[in-house]
Amino acid sequence: MAKAKGKIGVLLVNLGTPDSTKTGDVRKYLREFLMDGRVIDFPFIPRWMLVNLIIAPFRAPKSAGEYRKLWTDRGSPLLFHTQDLKDKLVAKLDPKEYLVSMAMRYQTPSIESGLKELMDAKVRKIIVVPLFPQYASATNGSVIDRVMEIARTWQIIPEMTFVSNYVDHPLFLEAWAELGREAMQKQDYDKFVFSYHGLPERQIRKGSVDGYCQLGACCNKYGLKNQFCYRAQCFQTTRLVAEKLGLPDDKVLTCFQSRLGKDPWVKPYTEDVIKELAKDGIKKVLVFSPAFVADCLETTVEVGEEYKEQFEELGGEHWDLVPSLNSSDTWVNCVKDLVESRA
């Protein structure tokens, strides 16, 4: 008699989103998100005071208004794009071999519920895929940390594999290149901006290997010592996508957005790049946001609307945002390969 063999469980994890655009739900989301010690890496008491007494109470009403601009009949784009990705992945994987679940690092569906679904099905192995292409402690690291925190309470822990990053995966790069080519067929551009979510400089330094990180030219090369440096991974992503698109170096810029607080974050800041572009008389810009694989507040509203408005106020004519990967076929194939290569 053949031995029964469990399926391989796959857990897709994205960042998270409020349950609704109500201020209370947004405040709840912000509290959970920002109380993560890998996101705001302060000791617990000052972090609690900062988040619960300052950031969440005052930021929630404004953020709720921003989410209302984003919300659709299907709800939060980040949530339904992740659901669409999961559904398409399920259709491409062998149902006899794989069971796919999805989760959000913050709010619902939770990582705990996603893991429970897999464990209830008696999977023999779990592959965790954080949907953040460039490793950072605050994203991929936080997902891995939370999965391990839950798993260590189990009596039976199956084999587990984590996908830490995939900045140089050919299908990830091709998925972005396809979207870029589509946009470039409609318009000629003077510059190509790659805007990534920012991080405090201190978090980059904490992960520096042998003091390698200088937050500067060290990111011009990607290798053993900076393979998990978030800033270096972002510059590498830019170089590889630009190479696929045949973009000249002098037309490509990498920058960082979404700064929170007064501490120095990784530079250059997207806001400063916009000012420099306008000052230099640049009129037409195509923007990529390759740190995000699903359109969300930071892409659609921050980059697509707020930065566009800033650029046009300074004399720019075209600030066009390339949509995120969402559930494009090439991106789905990339995730499929990330899973199958670890099975």
CA angle in degrees (0–180, nearest 5) for 49-78-191: 95
The answer to whether the beta carbons of residues 148 and 13 sit under 8 Å apart is no
Name the DSSP class of 81: H
Token pair of 17 as six digits? 């989103």
For the chain, count helices (H), then strands (E).
12, 8
Determine the Cα–Cα distance for residues 29 and 36; give it in Å rounded to an integer.
Answer: 11
Helical ranges in 185-229 per DSSP H: 201-206
Tell me the pairing of strands 252-257 and 318-321: unpaired
Q: Is 197 annotated as ligand-binding?
A: yes
Query: Between helices 170-184 and 329-340, what is the axis angle to 10°?
Result: 170
Stretch (H or E) spanning 144: helix 142-151
Q: Which of 71, 15, 69, 20 is nearest to 38 (CA)?
A: 15
Beta strands in 18-90 (DSSP E): none
Q: Which tokens sit at 30?
A: 């912000």
> How many Å apart are CA 153 and CA 282, to the nearest integer?
56
Question: Distance (Å, rounded) from C-alpha 172 to C-alpha 174?
Answer: 6
CA–CA gap between residue 339 and residue 1 (Å, rounded): 29
Q: Any binding-site annotation on 298?
A: yes
Query: For the chain, what's the residue count?
Result: 343
The annotation places the binding site at 197, 298
The annotation places the binding site for Fe(2+) at 197, 298
